[in-house]
Amino acid sequence: MALANNHISVDCVIIGFDGEQLNVLLIERVCEEKGEWTHDMKLPGSLIYQDEDLDEAAARVLQELTGLKNVNMVQFKAFGSKDRTKNPKDVHWLERAMELKVDRIVTIAYLSMVKIDRKLNSHLADYKASWVPLKQIRTLAFDHNLIIKEALMYIRQYVEFNPAALFELLPRKFTALQLRVLFELIYEKELDVRNFHKKIAMMEYVVALEERQQGVSHRAARYYRFDKKIYNKLRH
């Protein structure tokens, strides 16, 4: 029985929220099969170097493939099914793109939740990286659909212990509606508007601003912001 002399990769599940939907950051993959060129999508991820920690590798790979820097990622699961690199399309792509004959790749999956804003998006196109709404995601490379599914399960548990993580998804100023939609998406159930306002009122670290929406064709909503200092104080 051969000891595995395996390759190790990291894959990054970057989740963003556009005010209406959860999105995942995917990059384009160009495949050649029997002379035909096709495109599909994958998570940003690649093999790690010999001399870097897993966390370092994740940060490097994300930057190389999407241009994003300083994204706080958390490792959430390793995927090492022996079948995960068996799809001929994937094998083919690995051989061409990585110049690599590979038996199996164990991948360590990382997760981050970020604000989708102009600064972040400014260079994504250069990398053929784009935000894809969760519900519109088709079949991805390798087992990346599975990885995303598990990332979402992980998020649900994660935010219970780190409510602050939710606010990473929102712009600095956000409305009660945005926050509520976010909760509803993550917990997959609808919330009562009035109870939700009370809930916000009880979260001292969500502070109401005087500022309101402008130019909307209905009563303007109040803005809120997340106060990290208050949050941290309450945690201790």
Partner DNA sequence: GCAAAAGTGTTGGGCATACACCCATGA
Partner DNA sequence: TCATGGGTGTATGCCCAACACTTTTGC
Q: Which residues bind DNA (CB under 7 A)?
A: 175-177, 192-195, 197-199, 202, 212, 215-222
The site string for a copy of itself over 47-86 (x = CB under 8 A, - otherwise) reads xxxxxxxx--x-----------------x-xxxxxx----
Minimum gap (Å) between residue 216 Cβ and DNA: 6
3-state DSSP assignment of residue 7: strand
Minimum gap (Å) between residue 82 Cβ and a copy of itself: 5
Best CA proximity match to 107, nearest among 44, 46, 38: 46
Angstrom CA distances, 182 to 15, 118, 164, stand at 12, 20, 13
Which C-beta is closer to a copy of itself: that of 36 or that of 53?
Answer: 53
Give the β-pairing of 105-115 and 7-17. Answer: parallel
Minimum gap (Å) between residue 60 Cβ and a copy of itself: 10
* Burial class of residue 31 (count of CB atoms within 10 Å of its CB; 0-12, 13-18, 19+): middle
Beta bridge partners of 11: 45, 109
**Contact between 187 and a copy of itself (CB under 8 A)?**
no
**Contact between 164 and a copy of itself (CB under 8 A)?**
no
Binding partner selected for residue 51 from DNA, a copy of itself, none, CB under the kind-specific 5 to 8 Å limit: a copy of itself
Q: Which two structure tokens, joined as six digits, stand for 236?
A: 């201790």
Minimum gap (Å) between residue 26 Cβ and DNA: 29
Eight-state DSSP code of residue 167: H
Residues within the interface to a copy of itself (CB under 8 A)? 1-8, 47-54, 57, 75, 77-82, 103-104, 106, 108, 157, 160-161
